[in-house]
Amino acid sequence: MSEIDLFAELAVTEYAAGMAWYERFLGRPASFEAHATESVWELAEHRYLVVLERPEAAGHGIVTVFLEDYEGWLAAVQERGIEPTTVETYDNGVRKATFHDPDGNEIGFGGAPLEGKSGDD
């Protein structure tokens, strides 16, 4: 398979408000502005999160990102004043923190089980 770029798009009602929240949530400005009402964050090589003003679609997005440093990322987001809606550990030990932006889009961040741990521990 040839190289693939992934663009996960989340629609917001109002661009400026959405941008402010995502900059705080992700801890940095967008990697680039695609146009006046669409910005893009490169989360990892060839993997992008796109925030765009599209009121008719706002609040219906669901994105999950799996992280190597789940604890560090979760602590950093909380230090920026954003708390997860839910934090859970599945039976297999995989951890997930779910956030909702002001429009209701769901952004989940997951992490591998802790070494030697499962959800039953």
Tell me, what amino acid is at 72? G
The two tokens of residue 80 are 């920026």
CA–CA distance, 64 with 107 (Å, rounded to integer): 6
> Strands, E, within the chain: which ranges?
6-12, 32-35, 38-44, 47-53, 62-67, 86-89, 95-100, 106-111
pLDDT tens-digit series, residues 76-108: 999 999 999 999 999 999 999 999 999 999 999
Q: Are 10 and 63 in contact (CB under 8 A)?
A: yes
Of 50, 5, 18, 10, the residue nearest 32 (C-alpha) = 50
pLDDT tens-digit series, residues 59-77: 999 999 999 999 999 999 9
Average pLDDT, stretch 7-30? 97
List of domains in the chain: 6-111 (3.10.180.10)
This prediction has a pTM of 0.88
Q: Are 80 and 50 in contact (CB under 8 A)?
A: no
| pLDDT above 80 (res 110) | yes
pLDDT at 11: 98
